[in-house]
Amino acid sequence: MSETAQTLRARAEIDLGALRANVRALRGRVGTDVQVMGVVKADAYGHGAVPCARAALEAGATWLGTATPHEALALRAAGIDAPLLCWLWTPGGPWDEGILADLDMGVSGMWALREVTEAARRTARPARVQLKADTGLGRNGCQPADWPRLVGEALAAQARGLVKVTGVWSHFACADEPGHPSIGAQLETFHEMLTYAEKEGVDPEVRHMANSPATLTLPETYFDLVRPGIAMYGVSPGPEVGSPADFGLRPVMRLVGSVALVKDVPPGHGVSYGHHYVTEGPTTLGLVPLGYADGVPRHASGRGPVLVGGKVRTVAGRVAMDQFVVDLGGDVVEPGAQAVLFGAGDHGEPTAEDWARAADTIAYEIVTRIGSRVPRVYLNE
């Protein structure tokens, strides 16, 4: 039996019209001289990589970005041929496949440059390489002290026709904390490392640094291209940056469950594992068929907000693997009614940011973790 969106147990509605509008808003912010790379790693932060990549390109993004090469190769397999950077490589590649798929490959150290150069020799095609500078994040990227060697070896490989250095780039640690002293320090270090590489003879197609918070608040970090992820999905990078609406962005994902059971219970009734919630008086309980296997954070037990029957309720007791309960307080709600966990917020429903607060996390984690058991239903394709 086929299921329509209305009869699904639960669904994540993905508004591709909102995604396109967000990309256009970001393009308007950075201006025509700066390109936008739509970051679609982690299945487009849980929204679905292929449809979101296509929508981002339709709205004027000219690059795509992923973390892993497998994510990038999946986009190529779906027929997406836009410029595409992936940056999280581990020994073994797949470098040959990356070169043959015309990927731009982030290189942060000597081992990676060696492997990609060998792959270029095997495939008889120059590898498109973007050198990543660790300007202070302390995660991936090449330390300033090791930069001259990486740049030198990359240029030597380029001279032999094995690589083409197409980009120089870096990533911020604290761009979501306006005024953080590391922002200026990283920017200065990036200028120094970039200037060094260019003096040595690197002539990159793109130089870039800005993630969403930098794209929204730090024009001096734009260079040739910005790499927004979370902003494209209409979610705030963090409370200090502002709300999505402050930047003309609209949330793309709406998570809805279909109420599975409504029943009257007496006072003093324990609810869900551990009985951390006990009814105060006679009341009605509603069962929402989404749990931590679907990405609803167990940490939001007793705290997560849900719109059911026109009111925002709070998760009663523990979130279980597949379901949780809300106390409807005697209100009449029919089985099959919508339980909206989060959405754009303009119909009284909570937002991903509200769930982030309830679960002591960031909204990135809320949307990205929505599990594969929840079908994505695409709107405004």
Active site residues: 41, 273
* Positive or negative: CA dihedral 187, 191, 197, 203: positive
Nearest-angstrom CA–CA distance, 19 and 23: 6
Q: 206, 207, 87: which is closest to 140 by C-alpha?
A: 87
Residue closer to ligand PLP (CB basis): 83 or 228: 228
Residue 173: CB minimum distance to ligand PLP, A:
11
Using an 8 Å Cβ cutoff, are 154 and 165 in contact? Answer: yes
Rounded distance, CA 346 to CA 348, Å? 6
- The region that residue 281 occupies, defined by phi over 0 for left and psi between -120 and 50 for alpha, beta otherwise, is beta
- C-alpha of 297 from chain center: 17
CB of 301 to ligand PLP, least distance (A): 27
Q: Locate 371 and state its tokens.
A: 């599990």
Number of residues in the chain: 381
Rank residues 290 and 362 by Cβ distance to ligand PLP and give the closer one: 362
Residue 140 vs 338, nearer CB to ligand PLP? 140
Judged by beta carbon, residue 325 or residue 362, the one nearer ligand PLP is 362
- Complex with ligand PLP: residue 211 or 221, whichever CB lies closer: 211
Q: How near is the Cβ of 238 to ligand PLP at its closest, in Å?
A: 9
Asked if 268 and 278 count as a contact pair (C-beta separation under 8 A), the reply is yes
Contact 103, 63 (CB under 8 A): no
CB of 221 to ligand PLP, least distance (A): 12
Shortest spacing between CB 170 and ligand PLP, in angstroms = 9
Closest approach of Cβ 362 to ligand PLP, in Å? 10
Using CB atoms within 10 Å of the CB of residue 346, give its burial: 0 to 12 exposed, 13 to 18 middle, 19+ buried. Answer: exposed
Interface residues toward ligand PLP, by CB under 6 A = 39, 87, 171, 211-212, 227-231, 237
Which of 175, 65, 153, 41 shows the shortest CA–CA distance to 108? 153
| Closest residue by beta carbon to ligand PLP | 229
Q: Which amino acid is at 276?
A: H
Query: What is the tally of helices (H) and strands (E) in the chain?
Result: 11, 19
- CA dist 186 and 197 (Å) reads 16
Q: Which is nearer to ligand PLP, 228 or 257 (CB)?
A: 228
**CB-based contact 101:76 (threshold 8 Å):** yes
